[in-house]
Amino acid sequence: MKTAEPIKLHLACGTNVVKGKGWTNVDNNSDHNIKKGQLDLDWDLRKPLPYKDDSVDKIFHEHFIEHLPKAQGEAFLHDCYRVLEPGGSMRIGWPDTAKMIRAYVTHNKKYFNYVSKHVDGGMLFGTWDELLVDFLYSWQHRYGYTRKHLKQLLLHIGFKDAKYKKYRQSDYGFDIDARNDPATTYIEVIK
Ligand SMILES: C[S@@+](CC[C@H](N)C(=O)[O-])C[C@H]1O[C@@H](n2cnc3c(N)ncnc32)[C@H](O)[C@@H]1O
């Protein structure tokens, strides 16, 4: 008898569509940069995921949660919890506000050089104070999470065993991180 393949959701995949590893690549192409036919599911993640309770094996998303306003972000994470099966895992990567603040306080050059290249519209003065505010308002971000805050929220929702992880280091076999940069933090949790 054929057993069903585990469901693995790569949410808000953007152009980082992963083929051949069993991932369902989901996005609503709001940045209009994903080629036609690349997505496995065109879906607005402000709506509940089209999956049954306790039916999904793995969920991965990076550089997405901060694109939702606070309440929508919380609702989205609740829905991730709903669809995950008990023991299922989720990995999140996001631009960690705590890393920005630490870099601001210590004037971390590597951090500055990386983030300053990516702020919307470029920088006028190239100062740390400009970068701090550009970080908060660039890239159509609607909210920000320090690592402690996101961990607290995930545990509050019911996830367990929250662990911060390095790029491509995973307890659950996640191997599709695309963000090996000084701004990103990864966290893993299970249901
Ligand atoms: C900063 S990009 C990150 C893409 C990819 N994960 C990466 O790290 O390169 C944010 C992605 O979220 C998607 N997105 C934003 N709002 C969305 C929504 N409401 N529903 C589905 N996708 C959304 C955008 O289309 C975009 O591809």
Please count the structural domains in the chain.
1
Does the residue 21 lie in any domain? yes
CB atoms within 10 A of CB 169: 13
Query: What is the C-alpha radius of gyration for the chain, rounded to an integer number of angstroms?
Result: 17
Does the residue 1 lie in any domain? no
Cα separation, 164 vs 184, whole angstroms = 11
Does the residue 125 lie in any domain? no
Does the residue 155 lie in any domain? yes
Does the residue 16 lie in any domain? yes
Percent with pLDDT over 70 in the chain: 98
Does the residue 131 lie in any domain? no
Angle at 89 between CA 21 and CA 31, to 5 degrees: 60
Q: Please tell me the distance between residue 54's alpha carbon and the centre of ligand 1 in angstroms.
A: 24
List the beta strands (DSSP E) in 83-175.
84-95, 160-165
Q: Please tell me the distance between residue 11's alpha carbon and the centre of ligand 1 in angstroms.
A: 8
Range of the domain at 30: 8-95+141-190
Q: What is the CATH number of the domain that holds 35?
A: 3.40.50.150
The H or E element spanning position 56 is: strand 56-62
pLDDT tens for 15-30 read 999 999 999 999 999 9
